[in-house]
Amino acid sequence: MNRHPYEYKTLVEYINPEEPGRFPHFTRIEDQEGLTRTINDILGHLPGSIPPGWEVVSHDIAISRNTLILTVLLRRPVKA
């Protein structure tokens, strides 16, 4: 049987609102700007969170129950 050439893992960031109980409405420009700032802050430190030898395959941004969730799928070649 052939072995898969890559191993995978996920990197997940959970970001909760600074003001509990406040739910953003993304039709409001200030909430859109706040979301953009938050994502840019995360992306600023994301490269340092990825271990050497791993590469980003895909990513997803979701909001669930007022929590922003960023998921990054990583892979690297299997070491023999």
Over the stretch 14-69, which tens digit does the pLDDT of each residue have? Answer: 988 666 666 667 778 887 888 888 888 888 888 899 999 999 999 999 988 778 89
Count of helix runs (H) and strand runs (E) in the chain: 1, 3
Please state the φ and ψ torsions of residue 72, each to the nearest 5 degrees: -125, 125
CB proximity list for 16: less than 8 A, separation 6 or greater = 66, 67, 68
What secondary structure letter does DSSP report for 16?
-
> Which sequence spans correspond to the domains of the chain?
6-77
Higher pLDDT, 1 or 69: 69
